[in-house]
Amino acid sequence: MNAPSHPGLGSDDACPPWCRRDHTAGDHPEDRHHQSSAHLVAMVTGRPTLDPDDQAQPVSAVIRLVRRLGSETTWLELLSEEGPEVRLVVTTESARRLLLDVQRLLTTAET
């Protein structure tokens, strides 16, 4: 499958297969990036070492892939839809390592 062609993208900036962003020649420099579809995740956040469990808050977060034009590094963003409660921005390589450790910890939590 060929990468989509968009005005304003150089030949070295072809969209990765996961990119769902429209690119134009007039894009602001800060808007020049590839972006996957966003997925909403319902979460509960809190400060369990400082606050009681009943002070935990429901949060809607967005997770997506992002890559700046001209870069080879793809990032995973997990951000609160509103507010600062959730913010994790890591490379996909770091996200894979994190996923392994999260899976290990969740397995431990089940016992």
C-alpha 26/C-alpha 24 separation (Å) is 5
What is the pLDDT, as a whole number, of residue 31? 81
Per-residue pLDDT in tens (0 to 9) along the chain, 111 residues? 344 445 555 556 789 999 999 888 888 878 889 999 999 999 999 999 999 999 999 999 999 999 998 899 999 999 999 999 999 999 999 999 999 999 999 999 987
Domain boundaries defined on the chain: 38-109
Whole-Å CA distances, 88 to 46, 59, 79, 102: 15, 14, 6, 14
Characterize the bridge pairing of strands 87-91 and 39-45: unpaired
CA-closest candidate to residue 62, choices 73, 46, 86, 78: 78
**Cα–Cα dist 100/111, whole Å:** 18
Predicted pLDDT at 11: 54
The contacts of residue 27 (CB under 8 Å, 6+ apart) are 8
pLDDT of residue 2: 41
